[in-house]
Structure 1
C-alpha cells in the first residue's frame, strides 16, 4: 500500500540498476525517445508522401508495377 501511495504522489521509487530515482531515469530516456520518434516520422513522411502523390496521379496497378520494377533493379 505504501508503494501505491508513492505512485499517486509521483514517487516511483529508486532504480535498482542506476541508483537514481525512477522519475529521473524516465526523464533521461524521454529526450532520446522523442528525437528518435521525430526522426522516424520525418523518414516515414519522405517515403510515404511521394508514394501517395504517385498513387493519386496513376492507377494502382501502374504504381505497384513502378515500385516493383524499381526494387528489382537493385
Structure 2
C-alpha cells in the first residue's frame, strides 16, 4: 500500500483557493451574461451545448442527465 501524499504547503493552498475563487467568479459572470442575453440558466446552456455538439443534434435523456 502506498503512503498518502504529504499535505499541501501554504503556496499550494493559496494557489488552490485562488483558482476556486476565479472559477466561481467566472461561472457567476457567465450565468449573469446568459440570463441577460437569452434568459437561460447555466444548466440550460450546458444542455443546449451538449445537444449542439452531438453529430445528430440529439442525445438520450439519461446521457443528458448524467452531464448535469
- For the criterion TM > 0.5, the same-fold answer is no
Q: TM-score, normalised by structure 2?
A: 0.44
1 or 2, which has the higher helix percentage?
Answer: 1
* Larger CA Rg, structure 1 vs 2: 1
Q: TM-score, normalised by structure 1?
A: 0.41
Greater relative contact order (CA < 8 Å, ≥ 6 in sequence) = 2
